[in-house]
Structure 1
Amino acid sequence: MILEGTILAGTEFEPIEGRVVVEDGTIQAIEEATVESDDIVLPAFVNAHTHIGDSIAKEAGGGLSLAELVAPPDGLKHRLLRQTSTEEKVAAMRRSLQFMQAGGTATCVEFREGGVEGVRAIREAADGLDIDPVVLGRETVDAMRLEEADGFGASGANDADFTEERAATAEAGKLFGIHAGEADPSDIDAAMDLDPDFLVHMVHPEPQHFDRVEEKETPIAVCPRSNLVTDVGLPPIREWLDRTTIALGTDNVMLNSPSMFREMAFTAKLCDVTATEVLRMATLGGAELAGLDYGCIEPGREAKLLVLDGDSDNLAGVRDPVRAVVRRAETSDVSRVLL
């Protein structure tokens, strides 16, 4: 398979006119050449933090606080999830997964409520689709036994003691992620004491937390749109980028569409970051956080790719393709998704 156009190649997303050669699902070569195609070829996205079970309740809870919306066990989302049948949840999650796939997302890192049944529900929702979610269960390790999940996604160190869950995931060689510093800094040290594979949010670090994260090189999934909606502020993305791997997530589908195009544009226009940094957060950063071998276009990587129509009414005349992908492109510009 050969894809032609402007290739955003390597970890710096250098625009190269030419071809990407794909064989057996692997990128074999990038060839510089004069081509007629106006397409823009880039890595598929990795949505580094989602709660797509919330697809049953899009735009519910306007005006509620963060705790009222999502705090376990009685936040609005948890009450609604308990009231909804498995069939309804599966159908709603499938719609969100289809939306993400159409927009060029290869993977979402999902914090999945409901124990083993919740994990099975999202597997069922993804059946037959090309998007391949990384599913982290959120109930006790004893209940889900890590047999069917890809790891454990903890709500936060103020909610419970997750020492047992961390030990079990480490022994199983699976991911352990935890929310931290979303509303305030009170849970950050306890979360970091667990030596997680990654942190989520980190909106409110104190000076010592920057040093701890840098020392451990702990990746962070940031969700700026969600943080603004829940009125907790914006994460210090510039400071985090200078210290560790940062990935971009869309968080609760109840609050935001799982669109990486919207998340990138919002982040690029509101935060002190370059377009290249934002694109890396949306692709390679998420892949590295989840231990995946894609997220950039270079030989030997898995061929999870996205093609945009550079001659669409929205993108025709673009002078800077990386900036255009991050700040201007939309799902309607997608011409092909190769997953």
Structure 2
Amino acid sequence: MKIEGTVLRGPEFEPVEGRVVVEDGTIAAVEEASVDSDDVILPAFVNAHTHIGDSIAKEAGEGLDLDALVAPPDGLKHQLLREASREEKVEAMRRSIRLMETTGTTSFLEFREGGVEGVYMLREASSGSSVAPVILGRETADAMEAADGFGASGARDGDFSYERNATAREEKLFGIHAGERDATDINPALDLDPDFLVHMVHPETLHLERLEDSGIPVVVCPRSNLVTGVGTPPIAELVERTTVALGTDNVMLNSPSMFREMEFAAKLADVTAREVLRMATLNGARIAGLNCGVVEEGHDAKLLVLDGDSDNLAGVQNVVRAVVRRAGASDVKEVLL
């Protein structure tokens, strides 16, 4: 199989005219050549932080603060999750996964509420989809056993040493929320030596130095942070010190669209479009241990093809900048997952 157009090649997303050769689901070659195509070929997205169970409650909770919205056990999202039937939750998640699939997301890292049953529900919702979730169980060690790892709510909510040690023994992922409301839970989270942190809206100088020393990646969710009123993460400062990926967080608050997250992050932060695209693709893949996120020989052919001659993209002068700041669902021509 050969896909022709402008290829955003390698981790620097160098725009080259040519084709991507795919064999048995793997990128066999990226060939430079003169081609008759306006298409733009880039790696499919990896959404590095989601809570898609919240798909049952889109845009609920107007005017509520973060704790009232999502804090366990009595935040609004948890009330609504308890009230919804299993069938309602599975179908709502299935529809969010379908949206991710049609907009070019190949995988997402899900902090999955509901214990073991929550893990099973997400596996059911994603069955038959080309989108492969990386599921981090919550609430119980059994959920971690059934999932791909454990997603901790935050060091302020308890001691997660047992779960961290268990994931390390089983070589599974351990992620934890940190620095979302304030800085008080960042050091305890870093002390756990997690595989990644989520949010980091309020890091102080010491925390930034520890990140740089440890190399622990961070997933930022700027749209969510703005909606919940906690502020926005210092993306440029984080990027200077460690690997940073993008997530869309709660579907209750924002659509799981990486196009929207990229545009917002790019216009918010003093970082290049290339860095933002890397945050939405390769960096998330690296955190999850996936062999995708880059158009390069030997990597999985998880690709997104945009119509470069769409009314929205025709005439762009900077392809990478246009993909990050301008492209959207209506520009998607083909998704190969």
Same fold (TM over 0.5): yes
Matched residues in 1 for 2:306 and 2:225: separation? 29
- Partner residue of 2:201? 203
2:44 corresponds to 1:13? no
- Partner residue of 1:63? 63
2:29 partner amino acid? A
Matched residues in 2 for 1:158 and 1:147: separation? 23
Offset, 1:258: 0.5
- Partner residue of 1:265? 263
Matched residues in 2 for 1:26 and 1:147: separation? 30
Per the normalisation by structure 1, the TM-score is: 0.99
- Partner residue of 1:303? 301
**Partner SS state of residue 21, structure 1:** strand
- Partner residue of 2:40? 40
Offset, 1:74: 0.8
Matched residues in 1 for 2:211 and 2:317: separation? 37
- Partner residue of 2:72? 72
Offset, 1:284: 0.5
Matched residues in 1 for 2:270 and 2:229: separation? 19
- Partner residue of 1:155? 153
**What are the equivalent positions in structure 2 for 1:174-253 lying under 5 Å apart?**
174-253=172-251
- Partner residue of 1:279? 277
Matched residues in 1 for 2:333 and 2:78: separation? 37
Matched residues in 1 for 2:79 and 2:53: separation? 12
2:181 corresponds to 1:171? no
Which piece of structure 1 moves more, 194-203 or 146-155? 146-155
- Partner residue of 1:108? 108
Offset, 1:280: 0.4
Matched residues in 1 for 2:241 and 2:120: separation? 36
2:290 partner amino acid? L
1:332 aligned residue (325, 330, 333): 330
Offset, 1:147: 3.2
- Partner residue of 2:50? 50
Stretches (4+) displaced over 2 A: none
Offset, 1:75: 0.6
Deviation digits for residues 12-37 of structure 1, max 9, x if unmatched? 00000000001011101010000001
1:87 partner amino acid? E
Gaps (5+ residues) in structure 1? none
Matched residues in 2 for 1:67 and 1:139: separation? 18
**Partner SS state of residue 111, structure 2:** strand
Using the aligned pairs only, state the percent identity. Answer: 71
Offset, 1:319: 1.5
Per the normalisation by structure 2, the TM-score is: 0.99
Matched residues in 2 for 1:84 and 1:48: separation? 26
2:211 partner amino acid? V
Aligned-residue Cα RMSD (Å) equals 0.6
Matched residues in 1 for 2:67 and 2:59: separation? 16
Matched residues in 2 for 1:195 and 1:139: separation? 19
- Partner residue of 2:92? 92
**Partner SS state of residue 27, structure 1:** strand
Deviation digits for residues 273-306 of structure 1, max 9, x if unmatched? 1110100000001001111111111100111100
**Partner SS state of residue 203, structure 1:** coil
Matched residues in 1 for 2:211 and 2:118: separation? 31
Matched residues in 2 for 1:269 and 1:205: separation? 21
**Partner SS state of residue 185, structure 1:** coil
2:61 partner amino acid? G
2:221 partner amino acid? C
Matched residues in 2 for 1:244 and 1:206: separation? 15
Gaps (5+ residues) in structure 2? none
Matched residues in 1 for 2:289 and 2:207: separation? 24
Aligned length: 337
